Structure 1
Amino acid sequence: MAVKTNGFTIPEELIKLLLSLASNWGDMIDSNTLKVVHLSGAMTNEVYRISWPTKMANDSRTVLVRIYGEGADRFFNRNDEIRTFECLSRHGQGPHLLGQFPEGRVEEFIHARTLSAVDLRDPVVSALIASKVKDFHNLDMPGPKTVVLWDRMRNWLSQARSLCTREHAREFCLDALEDEICVLETELWGEHQDLGFCHNDLQYGNIMINEKTRSITIIDYEYASYNPVAYDLANHFCEMVANYHSNTPHVLNYSVYPGLEERQRFVQVYLSSGGNQPSDNEVDQLVHDTEKYTLANHLFWGLWGIISAYVNNIEFDYMEYARQRFEQYWLRKPRLLGLRY
C-alpha cells in the first residue's frame, strides 16, 4: 500500500525496499516515521532525501531516492546507466546503489554540499572541479571507447521530429538540423583531441563538495559516455550561465558566460592535474577546441529541451530553455566555425 507523506506518495515497492534496507542495518521503522524532503534542481528525475530514526538517541539514517522522470528512457538506456553507476561506484566515484524498485532507485546519501551557481565562479572551487573532471575523464570504463555524441543527437532529432507540432518543427528548423549535426561532426573533431569518459551534464547540481576535506564528488551519470573531453569542458562552461534555483530556473544569462581568462585558468588546472606541465600552446588549443564544442552543447540540450517539453511533467519551462539554446547556436556558429587555430 502506497503512503503519502509531506505531499509525496511513497510507492508500495519503495516502502518494502526501505523496510528491507532498514532491517539489514538493524533499524526498526514504519512508514509513519519516514521524513521526506524534496530536493529541487533536478530536471530529469524527481529526487528526495528520506530519513528515519535509528536506535541511537538523536540519530537518524538517511538515503537518497530517485524517482525516474516521465520519458527519461527517451534520452538514455536505464540499464546502461545502472551499469555505469555500479562501475563508477567500484572505482570509488559517487554514491553506492542500495536498491531498485519499478519507479526508481535508492542511493547512498552523500553527506556533502551540492554546489550552487555561485560556487562555479569561485577560483578555488573551480580548480577542485577541474582536477576532479580530469580524474573522471581518465576512468577506464567497459564498452567501446568511441564517440557517442553524434549518434545520440541524431536519435534525439528523430524523436523531436516525431513529437513536435508543425509549428515547433518549423520554429526550431528541425528539417535543417541533420545537416547541422553533420557539419559539426566534420568541423569539430581533430586527431589531436583526447577522448575520455565524459559526464556530459556538468551543471552545479551534479557536483558536491565535502567542506571538511575539500573533496569533490560528481554525481548523476544518466548521460555519461565516451566523448571528446573538449565537449565535456564546453558543457561545464555553458552551465555557468544557469541558476536552476532561481524564480526563473529556465532562464539562461549569457552575459555571465566565463571569459577567456577564466576558461584558460580552468583548462590550465585540468591539464596540470596529475603533475603534468602543459605548454601554453596545449592550453590554448584545448580552450579553442572547447569553445567550438559549445555549439554541439547548444544543439544537444536544445533537442533535450524540445523532447522534455512533450514528455516530462517536472515544473520547468523546457521549451523556452530549448529556444535559448538554439538561439545561442545560430548566434555563435558563424564566428566559432570561422575560427582557425
Structure 2
Amino acid sequence: MAQTLEYIIDRERELKAIKYLSAAGFGAKLLGLFENGMTQSFINARTLTPSDMSNPKLAAQIAIQLCKFHQVEIPGSREPQLWNDIFKFLARASVLQFDDSEKQGRYEMISFEEVHDAVTHLKDLTDLLDAPVVFAHNDLLAGNLMLSEDEEKLYFIDFEYGSFSYRGYDIANHFNEYAGFDCDYSLYPDKDAQCHFFRHYLQPDRPDKAQDEDLKALYIETNTYRLASHLYWALWALIQANTSSIDFDYLGYFFLRYDEYKKLKEECFSLTQSFLSCSGT
C-alpha cells in the first residue's frame, strides 16, 4: 500500500505546496514539516456530506473559496500534471497481474487499447480549450471539506493530490463528487446549479456581474474535463485494486467510472466541438 501511495501521490510536491496554502489560510495551520510528513493544528469543524455540497448557500461558499485557492502562488513549474498523471496511471494499470483468478478474469475484460484511445482523444480535445492553469486541489470531495459552525468558516483539507492543473478539471472533479459514495451520477449538478457555482467563482464579490460569455466558456470547460475526471479515477482504481489492502471493490469502481465516461462521451464531445466551431477554434 505504501508503494502504491508513493506512486500515485507526490509527497515532495504536497509538502512544498502546503507551506504556501497554509500561509494563505487553507487547511489546518501548518506547525512543522519533517521527512515525508507534517504536523498541523486541530480544526474544530464537521466534515460535509455530499448532499451539503449541492446546498446553494454552501455551493456559493465553496466556489468563492475555490477561486481564492486557485489564486495562491506556488513557486516552481506551472506545467499542468493532469495528463502526465493519467498516462502514468495507464502505463502502470495496463500491465497488472492478479493472484485472484476472478479478479484477473475481470481485469482481462478491459481493452487498454480502447482506454488509451479514449485518453488520447480527450486530451487532444481539451488542448483546444486552452483552459487556465491553476494550482488545483484535485480531490475536492465532501470528506475534504469541513465547516466550522462557530467560525462560520469553510475549510479545504488534504492536499495530497494537489498539483498544477486545469481550472475546469478541478471544478468538474468536485461536481462529480456530488454523486457521493453511492456514485449516483444523476446527482451531478444541472446547468442552473452549475451557473450558480460559476457566478460565485468568477465574481466572488458580485456574482450577478459575471459575464454570459465567461459563464458559457467555464461551463464548456468544466463539462469537458468532467470526462477526464472519470478516466483519472478509473485508472487510479485499477492500481488500487492490485495493491490496496482496503476491503473495497476497486475493479468494480474502475468499470463504474469508465462506463460513466463512455455514457457521457458523445454528449460532451458534441457540446465542446460545437462551442469550438462557433468560437472559430
Question: Normalised by the size of structure 2, how large is the TM-score?
Answer: 0.87
2:120 equivalent to 1:189: no
**Higher share of residues assigned helix:** 2
- Conserved? CA contact 1:70–1:313, under 8 Å: no
Letter in 2 for 1:188: T
- Which of these residues, 203, 221, 225, is aligned with residue 141 of structure 2? 203
Query: Does structure 1 residue 297 correspond to structure 2 residue 229?
Result: yes
Match of 2:184?
253
How big is the shift at 1:171?
Answer: 2.5
Question: Do the aligned partners of residues 213 and 150 (structure 1) sit closer, same or farther apart at CA in structure 2, a change above 3 Å counting?
Answer: same
| Structure with the bigger percentage of strand | 1
Query: Is the contact between residue 208 and residue 217 of structure 1 (CA under 8 Å) also seen in structure 2?
Result: yes
Note closer, same or farther for the CA distance 1:98–1:191 as it changes in structure 2 (3 Å cut): same
User: How far apart, in 2, do the equivalents of 1:164 and 1:337 lie?
Assistant: 33
- State the Cα deviation string for residues 158-207 of structure 1 (Å, max 9, x = none): 11123245644542322322222221111013455222111010101001
Count of residue pairs the alignment pairs up: 267
In structure 1, the residue corresponding to 2:131 is in which secondary structure? coil
Letter in 2 for 1:315: D
Report the counterpart of residue 128 of structure 1 in structure 2. Answer: 61
Residue of structure 1 in register with 2:278 after alignment? none
Using a 3 Å threshold, how does the CA distance of structure 1 residues 325 and 164 change in structure 2: closer, same or farther?
Answer: farther
Distance in structure 2 (CA, Å) of the matches to 1:292 and 1:235: 11
Which of these residues, 12, 15, 18, is aligned with residue 82 of structure 1? 15
Identical positions, percent: 31
- Asked whether the equivalents of residues 20 and 72 of structure 2 are also in contact (C-alpha less than 8 Å), the reply is no
Mapping for residues 1-341 of structure 1, pairs under 5 Å? 71-98=4-31, 105-165=38-98, 167-190=105-128, 193-243=131-181, 251-275=182-206, 277-339=209-271, 340-341=274-275
Q: Structure with the greater relative contact order (CA < 8 A, sep ≥ 6): 1 or 2?
A: 2
TM-aligned CA distance change 1:142 to 1:237, over 3 Å: same
For 2:269 and 2:7, locate their aligned partners in 1 and report how far apart those are by CA, in whole Å.
30
Cα distance, 1:261 vs structure 2: 1.1
Q: Are the counterparts in 2 of residues 169 and 175 from structure 1 also a CA contact under 8 Å?
A: no
Provide the secondary structure at the position in 2 that maps to 1:163: coil
Q: In 2 relative to 1, CA 336–170 (structure 1 residues): closer, same or farther, beyond 3 Å? A: farther
Provide the rounded CA distance (Å) in 2 between the counterparts of 1:102 and 1:172. Answer: 38
Distance 2:58 2:92 in 1: 38
The unaligned stretches of length 5 or more in structure 2 are: 99-103, 276-281
Q: Which amino acid aligns with 1:128?
A: Q
Question: Measured at CA, do residues 125 and 186 of structure 1 come closer, stay the same or move farther in structure 2, by a change above 3 Å?
Answer: same
Provide the rounded CA distance (Å) in 2 between the counterparts of 1:286 and 1:103.
Answer: 36
Q: Distance in 2 between matches of 1:203 and 1:170?
A: 30
Letter of the 1:282 counterpart: D
Q: Distance in 2 between matches of 1:75 and 1:168?
A: 23
Q: 1:103 to 1:140 in 2, by over 3 A?
A: closer
Measured on the aligned residues, the alpha-carbon RMSD in Å equals 2.2
Q: What residue in structure 1 maps to residue 279 of structure 2?
A: none
Opposite residue 222 of structure 1, the aligned amino acid is E
Distance 1:215 1:329, change over 3 A: same
CA distance in 1, matches of 2:212, 2:169: 20
CA distance in 1, matches of 2:251, 2:18: 29
CA shift digits 1:27-47 (9 cap, x unpaired): xxxxxxxxxxxxxxxxxxxxx
Asked whether the 8 Å contact 2:15–2:37 carries over to 1, the reply is: no
**Separation (CA, whole Å) in 1 of partners of 2:225 and 2:90:** 18
